[in-house]
Amino acid sequence: METDKQQFVTHIENRRLQDLAGARIRPGEWEQEHLRRCHICARVLYIYFNQSTTTSSENPESEGNAA
């Protein structure tokens, strides 16, 4: 009886995905290819992207009136 072999996948770090979503960095070649193939990292990036755009556009008046 053959045991199932586990595949270990290296994912993009969360902080890198956050920086990509906020356009603070550009993805490297490996990251671009990984995002095309990995639905997990692509979904996390999508969530971070929507959080950053939703948060910044929800209350534009509060940014100028912080004091």
Looking at the domain assignment, is residue 1 inside a domain?
Answer: no
27-62 b/e (C-beta count within 10 Å ≥ 16 → b): beeebeebbeebeebeebbeebbeeeeeeeeeeeee
- pTM listed for this prediction: 0.67
The whole-number pLDDT of residue 1 equals 45
Looking at the domain assignment, is residue 7 inside a domain?
Answer: no
Looking at the domain assignment, is residue 49 inside a domain?
Answer: yes
The pLDDT-based confidence of 8 (bands split at 50, 70, 90) is confident
Compute the Cα dihedral for 53, 56, 15, 23 and give only its sign.
positive
Q: How many domains does the chain have?
A: 1
The whole-number pLDDT of residue 16 equals 97
Looking at the domain assignment, is residue 8 inside a domain?
Answer: no
The pLDDT-based confidence of 61 (bands split at 50, 70, 90) is low
Q: What is the pLDDT of residues 13-41, one digit of tens each?
A: 999 999 999 999 999 999 999 999 999 99
